[in-house]
Amino acid sequence: MTAEEIKQNVLDTFLRIADRFGVPCVILAVVLYFGREAAIALHDSVVEPVVKSHVEFLESTKETMAKQADTLQELAKGQQEIQQVLARPANTEGTN
């Protein structure tokens, strides 16, 4: 088969499908095909950079939250030490 014959067969197949399913289905198929092509084109230029930057954001957020947890533990320890100092009974010298 030559390229011209293949092209003619594809066109004939397309026309048979159009005749069998009607114009609305053919229009829907064309819209879906071009939507698929647009999605493929946008994948490399839009989707991958967005996903990459989102993953970087999540990693930096994870690091920040770990630092905040450490800081909160230090603050809690400091508050406990203050509470222990304040809870000690006052020195009662000279009150026999």
Residues in the chain: 96
Tokens standing for residue 87 = 């809870």
d(CA 10, CA 2): 13
* Per-residue pLDDT at 83: 92
Predicted confidence (pLDDT) per residue in 37-77, tens digit: 898 888 888 989 999 999 999 999 999 999 999 999 999 99
* Per-residue pLDDT at 28: 87
Residue 1 has pLDDT above 80, yes or no: no
- Show me where the domains of the chain are located: 3-86
Predicted confidence (pLDDT) per residue in 12-35, tens digit: 887 888 888 888 888 888 899 899
Mean pLDDT of the residues in the chain: 87
